[in-house]
Amino acid sequence: MVRGAAWPRSSPTIDGFNLYHGLRAKYQHRYLWLDLQRLVQRIRPADDILAVRYFTALVRDDRPALARQEDYLSALTAHSRGAVDVILGRYQARRHACRQCGATWTSYEEKETDVNIAVSLVADAAAAASRLALIVSADSDLCPAIRTARALNRARGMIAAFPPSRSSFEIRTLIPGAFTIAAADLRNSLLPDTVTGPAGRAYKRPGKWR
């Protein structure tokens, strides 16, 4: 709902990787079934919220975890009715070998997400797409994009909301007033236990996410 010029139009950007690990570190699985649209509305109740952008990547080599993630993303987009836009990066496999024993193993690094977030922040600033940028992340790798976005549009406000157990001195220096998302906002921003998609499919909150 557009409320007019008196209300700030804000474009929320959510770093899914940073948010997920912050939630896990502080609350384990309790708040993973999170309604991002509702969370943003609680953080900025007076704003006219534009589409919420959620940047993440699909899990690799863990089928149960991938199934939970896919159900969550489907529930999230269905419940928001288009108000949450999921932008996917990817995980890249990286092989390692022990020099002493010769053992090998594979780890995965998230790719493209930081770049996707940075491009989004800068593009929105250049286009003057909103009067306010809300960034949910404590990843200091975003600082160059924050500086560039601010240089392109100095009239545009910026707010940083840190996930639980996450903080960034660098971001706090660039965006004074940065704060940590409160437990009450998380607790009151969960999706319904069952969300029905447009085709009638039901997506249920995983038992592990309670």
Give me the count of residues in the chain.
210
User: Are the beta carbons of 50 and 129 closer than 8 angstroms?
Assistant: yes
- Listed as ranges, residues in the chain with pLDDT below 50 are 1-7, 105
Q: What CATH number should be reported for the domain whose range is 9-200?
A: 3.40.50.1010
Reported as a single tens digit per residue, the pLDDT across 39-66 is: 999 999 999 998 899 999 998 888 999 9
CA distance 58 to 56: 7
Query: What DSSP assignment string belongs to 181-202?
Result: PPHHHHHT-BPPSEEE-TTS-E
Q: What is the pTM of this model?
A: 0.88
Residue 190 to residues 32, 50, 64, 151, 199, Cα–Cα distance (Å): 8, 20, 21, 36, 22
Q: What is the structure's pLDDT at 3?
A: 37
Other CB atoms within 10 Å distance of the CB of residue 148 = 15
Q: What is the structure's pLDDT at 104?
A: 63
Q: What is the structure's pLDDT at 1?
A: 33
Domain boundaries of the chain, sorted by first residue: 9-200
